[in-house]
Amino acid sequence: MTEDGFSYKEKFIIRGFEVGINKIATIETIANLLQEVGSNHAQSVGFSTDGFGTSPTMRKLHLIWVTARMHIEVYKYPAWRDVIEIETWCQNEGRIGTRRDWILNDVATGEVFGRATSKWVMMNQDTRRMQKVSDDVKEEYLVFCPREPRLAFSEKNNKSLKRIAKLEDPVRYSKLGLKPRRADLDMNQHVNNVTYIGWVLESIPKEIIDTHELQAITLDYRRECQQYNVVDSLTGLELTEGSKMVSVGTNGSATATATTREDDHDCHRFLHLLRLSSDGREINRGRTEWRKKPTR
């Protein structure tokens, strides 16, 4: 815990199995570390003895936290054996949720290389239905929250606030028939939220993966995914017409690219949809933003 008791910091060294072929950390590594720090923060204040950040009242009532929205921005990815420090804190977010934010620092330089924010809602573990956060639960965790609102993204109209439009058929890129592995399940008995990031990236075109790196990702989690579900990952371009964002599928212009602004020709943006293969029900919708890979 930090000195004021309202946030938590932890250092990590980037290990060999957490980097890709370019020897820098993957976005899944970053997301897993965010989740780890959040869980450790909860444990440090006496929560989460048998779940992700569950308070005594939550455990008594069989309530758990589930991710509703996640937004991550990475300005510079850490490399193999870099030491990083992540600070996290939580606060109230509306009637049915809580908010957790993170700031990521390079220990050697003190540079902030990433920020993230998330919204979590409460679900009954037995009925799998969402439930309002009771005053009893709020009283248990608000004592560990900052007294004044503190946001990782304090800028007005920042990317974390943007609504994600639903990607409609037909789409330009897809990866069908994705199946959860047993290792993808977490202690809440459903597919872990980080797995969705990997599924989203499965349908990114190879020419983008080869030449660009992910600089921002936003995911809205809309339905649980269980072990035996089969998932389709769909991706389409997000283009700008004036100030309006437009998703483009296979029926779009043959000359369209993922470029969104004339002055931002190296930045590419995509919309994403994860859905059940069996009936097309929506699991997750997302947005990603990619920049040209730096010379290392």
Domains 1-161 and 162-296 share a fold: yes
Among the listed residues 267, 287, 201, 216, the one whose alpha carbon sits nearest the alpha carbon of residue 73: 216
Q: List pLDDT tens digits, range 237-288.
A: 997 654 445 555 533 333 334 444 434 668 999 999 999 999 999 999 999 9
Q: Which of 22-26, 73-77, 143-147, 210-214 has the lowest average pLDDT? A: 143-147
Q: What single-letter DSSP state applies at residue 79?
A: B
More confident residue, 108 or 154: 108
For the stretch 191-212, what's the b/e string if a residue is b when 16 or more beta carbons lie within 10 angstroms of its beta carbon? bbbbbbbebbbbbbeeebeeeb
Q: In the prediction, which pLDDT does 73 show?
A: 98
Q: 1-161 domain in CATH 1.10.645.10?
A: no
Region 116-121: mean pLDDT is 94
> Per-domain residue ranges for the chain?
1-161, 162-296
| pLDDT over 60 (residue 51) | no
Region 53-68: mean pLDDT is 84
More confident residue, 132 or 94: 132
Hey, which CATH number is domain 162-296, 3.50.40.10, 3.40.50.410, 3.90.1150.10, 3.10.129.10? 3.10.129.10
Active-site residue list: 188, 190, 225
Q: Which of 27-36, 87-96, 242-251 has the highest mean pLDDT?
A: 27-36
